[in-house]
Structure 1
Amino acid sequence: MCGVLFRVVVMKVVVRVKLLPTPAQAAALEATLRACNRAAEHVSRFAYESGVKDRNQLQKAVYTDIKDVFSLSAQPAVRVVKKVVDAYAALSAQMEGGLLGRPAPKRYRKATGHPIGFRPQAAQPFDDRCLSWQTDARTVSIWTVDGRMRGVRYTGQAGQLKALAEYRKGESDLVQRGGKWYLLATCEIPEPEVAEPVDFIGVDRGITNLATTSDGANYQGRRLGRYRRWQARKRAELQRKNTRSATRRAARRSRKEQRHATHANHKISKEIVSVAQRTGRGIAVEELDGIRDRVRLRRDQRGTLSSWPFHQLGQHLAYKAKRVGVAFIEVDAAYTSQRCPRCGHTERANRPTRDHFSCRQCGLAGPADHVAGINVRNRARSAWVLVTAPVPNTA
């Protein structure tokens, strides 16, 4: 008798819960983070100077020092070494992928010319030996330099707490942000089966309009664009001052701008996926890989296109759709804003202005981004048939 193995596909989701420590507990958590990151700095310097990046060899070389000098227990010391090894592995991957440029430029030298540093309050991973969850009581027990600390309360959104109780697996990261404490836990949630869509919602992405759907829903980018231009002016002012304080403030402004754009993309993607789920349809977007190589831009447009979060919106749509079993597909982006969805006539003159579409052959007219969304939807209908078609048996 032979058994049949079924592979359950899971997706990893990071759940963030907020800790509610007492003042004494908060002080112990802060002391723990600082001790772990001082130890990580020590391990990083040793790894950089000795060239030892293998986890087992590095752990043998520094394990005793970590425990004796920094007063860490056995398992936290192991996690510190693992954190350093992972940091150097990430740096190596960036170098191999060309993300740091050629070896000569300043950016490359700045990243590789010294040991990797760890901020005093950088996140610290804890495994199940260092941190245990009591999901019914909504408390955690966590190792600190002052001893095992039990009964630390936490809170979070209902959906996140449910996922945490049912699907948590692996490490959890202790994080301090803005004086508040958080735990980031990894949950492996089974992927729901993708439902066969009755149709598709085509989504056209842009700058003036962040997203326009084939249903006619329009998410304008003017407000976000004004905000980004204002932030760019402020950063330019700080850069002209050319001081360390101005550089730090410019970096904070850049991170704030990124969070603002991410929040906008989350809101847009959440609404589109909700409509698709409610109506039983899938979601289709343009495939934008290589768009910077295909599109010729004026000098004043290059910075906007390079920094605009097109790809992030597509990522948000993809993973939100996957979580609820909504079909998601990318289609060819060529001429979606110049092709007439009624007669198929395609030419540049069909789009006389950025906002307006008017077919030179059949006279169909309307908002250009809406027409592009309809073309994306139509291409998705054909592409989905090819994706889901059974593979012919040639045996």
Structure 2
Amino acid sequence: MKQVVVVKLLPDADANAALAATLRVCNDAANRLSELASRGDEPPTRANLQRLAYQDLKSRGLSAQPALHVIRKVADAYSALRATLRAGNLGKPGSKRRRKAESKPVVFRSDAAQAFDDRCLSWQVNAGTVSIWTVHGRLKGIRFAGGPDQVKTLREHRKGETDLVHRDGEFYLIATCEVPEAELIDPVGFIGVDLGIVNIATTSTGIRLAGRGLNRHRKRQVELRRRLQTKQTKAAKRLLKLRSRRERRHAANTNHVIAKRIVTEAQRTGRGIALEDLRGIRDRVRLRKPQRVTLHSWAFGQLGAFIDYKARRAGVPVVFVDSAYTSQECAQCHHIDKRNRPNQAEFRCRSCGVVAHADRNASRNIAARGEAAWAAGRESRVPAPLRGCRM
């Protein structure tokens, strides 16, 4: 199982300047190669780009391996663009947005991330230092800072490339690790997890996570964004970017805490975890404008990915089930009726008369579907995360 570990570099002034210059040179070269690729007749594959510009990149101060990484970065960017166009995420053929994306070369920021392999960057984990190639020569003994769990994961499982990232004036290394999965237990049952807006996660065992405090935080952030967006000044736009990153970090931290608690409960009781398959929910549901903001303001997909990878490390089975009618079905008699849900918090079955908390009832339905799916031997439909889960 692939996982990424993020650590902060602590370079001195000279090393800081060398790292900044390295990112600038690599991304300038990537932009030049992107322009050539957009004007060329051949598809911008790695092989074609290497034949086109390998020697030119080396003449611009890049060594062999960094030059190859720049070529791969450009080729991957165009592959991602083609996939985005095929998926229709940039509009229909002929639309203004799509024509703009197709007519211009892919552009890389001057401080965009750059990948390094073990020839360009080596780790001395026990010493807490790294050695890295730069355009000003190889820098040795650059210290990095990370938590005990991060250092342990790096020492035991690091394998693959490392990205050099510049963010908010600091340099970070994002290392790929190959973490082994634990052997799956034979579950005695399943914990159903209902994901929602008022309560981020409610389990069939009675655990209700997040809720009022987190929703107050989300509303406060929406109001702050609204005030800054109305100003339309450079300072306001700069603050919006900072707040956006802060909100993402807060959401990721909260999702980590929720996921850890759910997985720990499942591991302690010897159960599996059943989750709703919520892929495409934003396209399926029909909501009023104020409700759309609430739905889009939390990373439910990220929470599901966190639960999945933590469960795999703990040997806990995870099953993704169909989410249809879980909020309208009675967990007692399985009668389905839209009127069973008179309001957001309450469930009243019109067949057997059971009264329950709506989220708890839905989580029991999810647990039952998870048990049925596991018993039938069907594969869990696990959405593949777009980015690695960070420690």
TM-score above 0.5: yes
Cα distance in 2 for residues equivalent to 1:91 and 1:245: 31
Please list, as runs of the form range in 1=range in 2, the aligned pairs for 1:260-271 lying within 5 A after superposition.
260-271=250-261
| 2:9–2:173 CA contact under 8 A, matched in 1 | yes
Query: Match for residue 10 of structure 2?
Result: 20
- Give per-residue Cα distances to partners, 1:150-172, cap 9 Å, x unaligned: 12222322232222223222211
Bigger mean CA deviation after superposition, 152-161 or 324-333: 152-161
2:53 aligned with 1:62, yes or no?
A: yes
Query: Match for residue 112 of structure 1?
Result: 102
Larger Rg: 1
Q: How far does residue 248 in structure 1 lie from its aligned partner after superposition? A: 5.3
Secondary structure in structure 2 of the residue aligned to 1:36: helix
Percent sequence identity over aligned pairs? 54
- Give per-residue Cα distances to partners, 1:121-170, cap 9 Å, x unaligned: 11111112211222332322211112111122223222322222232222
Cα distance in 1 for residues equivalent to 2:284 and 2:58: 55
Secondary structure in structure 1 of the residue aligned to 2:162: strand
Q: How far does residue 272 in structure 1 lie from its aligned partner after superposition? A: 0.7
Please list, as runs of the form range in 1=range in 2, the aligned pairs for 1:1-395 lying within 5 A after superposition.
11-52=1-42, 53-68=44-59, 70-242=60-232, 249-292=239-282, 295-387=285-377
| 1:175–1:183 CA contact under 8 A, matched in 2 | yes
Cα distance in 1 for residues equivalent to 2:149 and 2:343: 45
| 1:224–1:261 CA contact under 8 A, matched in 2 | no
Secondary structure in structure 2 of the residue aligned to 1:216: coil
* Aligned AA (1:65): D
Distance 1:348 1:138, change over 3 A: same
Q: How far does residue 50 in structure 1 lie from its aligned partner after superposition? A: 2.3
| 1:204–1:369 CA contact under 8 A, matched in 2 | yes
- Give per-residue Cα distances to partners, 1:1-42, cap 9 Å, x unaligned: xxxxxxxxxx11112222222222222212211121122122
Bigger mean CA deviation after superposition, 233-242 or 56-65: 233-242
| 2:218–2:297 CA contact under 8 A, matched in 1 | no
| 1:321–1:328 CA contact under 8 A, matched in 2 | yes
| 2:116–2:161 CA contact under 8 A, matched in 1 | yes
Cα distance in 2 for residues equivalent to 1:80 and 1:293: 36
- Give per-residue Cα distances to partners, 1:222-275, cap 9 Å, x unaligned: 444444444444444444455666555545544443333233222211211111
* Aligned AA (1:315): A
Distance 1:249 1:102, change over 3 A: farther
Q: How far does residue 207 in structure 1 lie from its aligned partner after superposition? A: 0.8
Aligned Cα root-mean-square deviation (Å): 2.5
Distance 1:292 1:179, change over 3 A: closer
* Aligned AA (1:43): L
| 2:348–2:355 CA contact under 8 A, matched in 1 | yes
Cα distance in 2 for residues equivalent to 1:261 and 1:376: 24
Structure 1 residues without counterparts, runs of 5 or longer: 1-10, 390-395
Distance 1:308 1:163, change over 3 A: closer
Structure 2 residues without counterparts, runs of 5 or longer: 380-391
Query: Match for residue 7 of structure 1?
Result: none
Cα distance in 2 for residues equivalent to 1:142 and 1:97: 38
